[in-house]
């Protein structure tokens, strides 16, 4: 069957600007298990031309053919557009962060195996960021298909990009804060203190109470003052979610992530909240 039979597409675009300036834009392709997000932005002029969110339904992106990937990525307003460059963010929970001073490239797989079981058909990659290295695994078939579509493509792990975006944003903040990026069934938790990465890990969850438990455990482990504890949330969460009310019962300050204000966005971005799709938008703050 054709891929588009299963997919649901949401467009947040400035179509006129996209058509006029696409050749100067970077296309960020964020690939998770059941979703692909496409963000087109002029990184020099600091203007976002559009975001396209493709929910692939029952088809996992890790298992589809190169042709199906092409149908999702190169359809609609993004079809046959000659972007200046394309980069891929791989979004999953199979990653670890280690200090760059301790990293030996030949041992990348060993570092990752220490915290994750790497199965057959997985390829281990790594990216350097802010004095640390993000080591991660992704399905070989997915990487092979993406490389077939776009030779010379650059890959990054979404969590590494998220952490780098936090380093950019905390220059304006003075508080000791936990940064939390919520996915459908896991979350990334990051703690940076005095410009140094103190903690970065991922936690699976099944219920909202799991999220509260993990966050309070991390705060205690990091010796954060509970009376002044603050968290900043991004990702699969909205202001009206029951999780927000639950978090506010146990955590003094619960904030939602703001979109980077140095970029101009299409008017259609008002249709979703700032913290949603932040995993893709975070790439705007990083020199990829």
Domains of the chain and any CATH numbers: 171-256 (3.30.420.260)
Strand pairing class (8-13; 26-31): unpaired
What would the pLDDT profile of 197-216 be if each residue is shown by its tens digit?
999 999 999 999 999 999 99
The dihedral over CA atoms of 220, 225, 227, 228, expressed in degrees to the nearest 10, equals -120
* pLDDT confidence bin for 3, thresholds 50/70/90: very low
Specify the DSSP class assigned to residue 106: G
Identify the pLDDT of residue 6: 63
What would the pLDDT profile of 93-140 be if each residue is shown by its tens digit?
999 999 999 999 999 999 999 999 888 899 999 999 888 999 999 999
Q: Residue 39: which of 278, 287, 239, 227 has the closest Cα?
A: 278
* pLDDT confidence bin for 15, thresholds 50/70/90: confident
């Amino acid at each position: 069957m054709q891929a588009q039979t299963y997919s649901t597409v949401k467009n947040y675009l400035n179509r006129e600007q996209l058509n006029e300036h696409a050749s100067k834009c970077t296309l960020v392709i964020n690939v998770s298990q059941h979703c692909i997000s496409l963000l087109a932005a002029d990184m020099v002029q600091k203007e976002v031309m559009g975001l396209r969110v493709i929910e692939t339904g029952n088809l996992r992106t890790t298992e589809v053919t190169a042709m199906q990937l092409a149908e999702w990525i190169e359809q609609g307003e993004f079809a046959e557009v000659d972007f200046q460059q394309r980069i891929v963010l791989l979004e999953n929970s199979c990653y670890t962060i280690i200090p760059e001073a301790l990293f030996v490239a030949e041992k990348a797989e060993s570092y990752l195996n220490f915290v994750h079981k790497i199965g057959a058909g997985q390829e281990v990659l790594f990216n350097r960021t802010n004095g640390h290295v993000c080591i991660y695994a992704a399905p070989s078939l997915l990487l092979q298909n993406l490389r077939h579509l776009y030779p010379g493509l650059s890959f990054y792990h979404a969590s590494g990009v998220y952490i780098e975006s936090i380093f950019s944003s905390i220059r304006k903040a003075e508080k000791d804060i936990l940064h939390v990026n919520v996915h459908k069934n896991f979350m990334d938790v990051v703690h940076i203190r005095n410009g140094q990465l103190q903690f970065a890990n991922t936690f699976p969850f099944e219920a909202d109470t799991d999220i509260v438990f993990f966050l309070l455990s991390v705060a205690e482990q990091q010796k954060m003052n509970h009376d002044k504890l603050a968290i900043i949330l991004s990702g699969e969460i909205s202001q009206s979610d029951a999780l927000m009310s639950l978090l506010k019962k146990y955590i003094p300050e619960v904030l939602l992530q703001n979109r980077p204000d140095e970029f101009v966005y299409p008017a259609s971005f008002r249709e979703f909240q700032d913290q949603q799709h932040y995993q893709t938008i975070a790439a705007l703050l990083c020199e990829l």
